[in-house]
Structure 1
């Protein structure tokens, strides 16, 4: 008996416990154990009815290194990654392990999200797979330093980034990047009709752009460019630290710059239109309304060339 008068149990050993719950001894093994003698179903060649646009692995969690022109200049993050390639009608499947082997190779030196590195990665991946194309997509949080407007107290804000790079043997690269960032908007209608005050809300600005194939990150940080396009057109930016003088400034700034979601979408689009390295874009602004049960949303897409 123990101190609380509960009877002690006598347990069977671990092997017996496993047997109790259904484990059995290994049966006879008759199939080959050497890779060269194993049947390769994935590489079977036959008419399998349709070509597949994308086959691969997804929901991979992996550490990455993010470089930036703003502080912190180098940071680690965790990305959710998808690797795919097309499969022609005469091929049954792809070699799933090769996607992860490619990632392991790059991880040995630290897997960075620089576009030059990712373009090299995806081209080599297509070659490793023996396919004409391959795509990598990464989604991850990126942190950037933000100072309060009056007291200059620093903290870290963050935004969610997306990078999608496709390589095709004949057509080259397609590079798409994006971000989703929170901002403040103040309702122009509320300001116009009210004797005093106006309601505001937190908005989410999502941007996805296609970059020109010749874009060079040494000439500018696309992350900062997209972030500035979203935040500079809002009623006010969000801050990790605000003292009372800062709060006064942010509140008055929002009041001086009222924005509908429609205004936000159009203003952000104008900034993206003026970026020479952006060939097409989609902007979505969604406000979590403070006096309605619903959200407000506006979306704008534009192809420059």
Structure 2
């Protein structure tokens, strides 16, 4: 049996001595109040501070949330990245930052399901807590949904990126914007047209941002699934997490049968969104990661139904 080789032990100072070695000092005298009611509140100072502020708050706040969906899984836990803000007038020095996260925690303790109705209530409650006439909440998160192979029917998980923005104003009411970004496949029509055989394709990212009508009821229609279908149904083919050989054959042939320029994509998706009665205005952007170029191809369209129809009328 081999002997365990021993090494001489280094004699270290104890932990207090080590801290002192690296700069720690003894606490000094405490002269300022430790009770909240006795502390100065600089943020609540009232003077003429020159300018109203459009927005003040916090962002990049990560927190667990629950999301419901018409697609499997019907309920999932994911991570939301939040932004909270409100305006303040020039008579106020600042806002109370802790109130944003206090409210987030209170909602989380009750089970924070991120849907439009809950976010509307959250935003108004936030304005009241801040003693302001308005407030804004934005949350982004990955939304997962099951996708099966077209031939094998084998399931896997895809995801799209969601952003919800809710603004509350005690005069104007609510303004709600919803965004969904989804990956798709596009096959180049030009390549198909000029080549003796085959055609190059690329993976595209479609981002749709919509303003929702005041009377839209999310309980009757899952806007996430509706926007996802608008992107995927107009693509050359959909993306799948699990593809066996029969699936791959179907997907490849489907892409060849449905060639799409990046310009085609945004126009086709825009047409679908235009027909959605719960959308008042929208933008569609597509970015294709070209497979035979060093650059990406982009296109976008923006349309305001109310404004355009008023002008055309």
Interval containing the TM-score (normalised by the shorter chain): over 0.9
Q: Which residue of 2 aligns with 1:264?
A: 265
Within-5 A mapping of 1:270-289: 270-289=271-290
Residue 125 of structure 1 aligns to a residue whose secondary structure is helix
SS of residue in 2 equivalent to 1:117: helix
1:132 corresponds in structure 2 to 133
The question of 1:88 aligning with 2:89 is answered yes
- Distance (Å, rounded) in 1 between the aligned partners of 2:249 and 2:117: 43
Secondary structure (helix, strand or coil) at the match of 2:132 reads: coil
Q: 1:3 Cα deviation (Å)? A: 5.0
Aligned to 1:228: 229
Q: CA RMSD in A?
A: 1.1
| TM-score normalised by L of structure 1 | 0.98
**Structure 2 counterpart of 1:56:** 57
Q: d(CA) in 2 for partners of 1:157 and 1:296?
A: 24
Distance 2:14 2:118 in 1: 53
Tell me, which stretches of 5 or more residues in structure 1 are unaligned?
Answer: none
2:303 aligns to what? 302
Superposition deviation, residue 4 in structure 1: 5.2
Query: 1:162 maps to what in 2?
Result: 163
1:48-197 aligned within 5 A: 48-197=49-198
Using the size of structure 2 for normalisation, the TM-score is 0.95
- For residue 190 of structure 1, report the CA deviation from its aligned partner: 0.3
Residue of structure 2 equivalent to 1:203: 204
SS in structure 2 at match of 1:7: coil
Cα deviation digits, residues 92-136 of structure 1 (max 9, x gap): 000001001100110012111111111000100000000001111
How far apart are 1:5 and its partner, in Å? 5.5
| SS of aligned partner of 1:159 | strand
For the pair 1:8 / 2:9, whether they are aligned, the reply is yes
Aligned to 2:32: 31
Quote the Cα distance in structure 1 between the aligned partners of 2:209 and 2:132.
Answer: 27
Shift of 1:186: 0.2
1:6 Cα shift?
A: 4.0
Tell me the alpha carbon deviations over residues 7-29 of structure 1, each in whole angstroms, 9 at most, x when there is no partner.
31111111111111001111111
Aligned partners of 1:61, 1:110: CA distance in 2, in Å? 16
Query: C-alpha distance in 2, partners of 1:270/1:257?
Result: 17
For residues 144 and 117 of structure 2, what CA distance do their matches in structure 1 show?
Answer: 21
Q: Residues 118-165 of structure 1: CA distance to partner in whole angstroms, max 9, x if unpaired?
A: 100010000000000111111110000111111111111001110110
